[in-house]
């Protein structure tokens, strides 16, 4: 089987499995807790994005990936991770602008994923050889997409009124 087919199958199955997990377990829980708790849980996923910087390490990815593609992926993930950490702190301290930071983190993170997707298609990275970075793309990236979808769904959802407030 060709590398692109394996890559596609692995991505599809990761989206299906993590999507079911999100639909059956994460989404009901996220709707049942307060927004700060829900956004904290979803933001922690993005705080782990420094792993994307491994795309710059040739002993991990090899030399086949174009440097401009690798740099865009790495620095987009690092920027999202820093934003996520700042957002986590703001949520924890109950700062008034914490929800604005949740928006910013998710917009920047989603744009980064779109940029990586466009670059990946443009350079046909599934056939170039990514070394062990393959696992980041086929396992972690679907989780990141799903976390963004859940966060945007919560952000766009009308907050329920608290009884007695």
pTM listed for this prediction? 0.91
Q: Are 162 and 34 in contact (CB under 8 A)?
A: no
Pair of tokens at residue 116? 């990586």
Domain count, the chain: 1
Range of the domain at 74: 3-156
Domain assignment present for residue 161? The answer is no
Domain assignment present for residue 163? The answer is no
Domain assignment present for residue 78? The answer is yes
Residues in contact with 81: Cβ distance below 8 Å, sequence separation at least 6, in sequence order:
46, 47, 48, 49, 50
Give the integer Cα–Cα distance in Å for 87 and 22. Answer: 22
Domain assignment present for residue 70? The answer is yes
Give the integer Cα–Cα distance in Å for 140 and 157. Answer: 26
Measured at the alpha carbon of residue 125, what is the angle toward residues 4 and 145, in degrees to the nearest 5?
85
Q: What is the pLDDT along the chain (165 residues), one digit of tens a residue?
A: 888 899 899 999 999 999 999 999 999 999 999 999 999 999 999 999 999 899 999 888 888 888 999 999 999 999 999 999 999 999 999 999 999 999 999 999 999 999 999 998 998 888 887 888 889 999 999 999 999 999 999 999 877 655 554
């Amino acid at each position: 089987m060709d590398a692109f087919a394996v890559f596609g199958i692995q991505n599809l199955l990761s989206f299906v499995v993590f999507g079911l997990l999100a639909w059956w377990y994460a989404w009901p829980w996220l709707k049942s807790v307060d927004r700060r708790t829900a956004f904290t849980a979803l933001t922690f996923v993005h705080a782990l994005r420094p792993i994307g910087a491994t795309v710059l390490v040739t002993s991990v990815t090899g030399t086949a990936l174009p440097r401009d593609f690798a740099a865009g992926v790495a620095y987009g993930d690092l920027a999202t991770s820093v934003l996520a950490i700042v957002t986590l702190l703001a949520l924890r301290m109950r700062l008034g602008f914490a929800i604005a930071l949740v928006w910013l983190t998710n917009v920047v993170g989603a744009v980064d994923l779109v940029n990586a997707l466009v670059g990946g298609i443009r350079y046909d990275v599934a056939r170039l050889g990514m070394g062990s970075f393959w696992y980041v793309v086929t396992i972690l990236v679907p989780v990141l997409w799903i976390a963004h979808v859940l966060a945007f769904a919560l952000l766009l959802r009308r907050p329920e009124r608290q009884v007695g407030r």
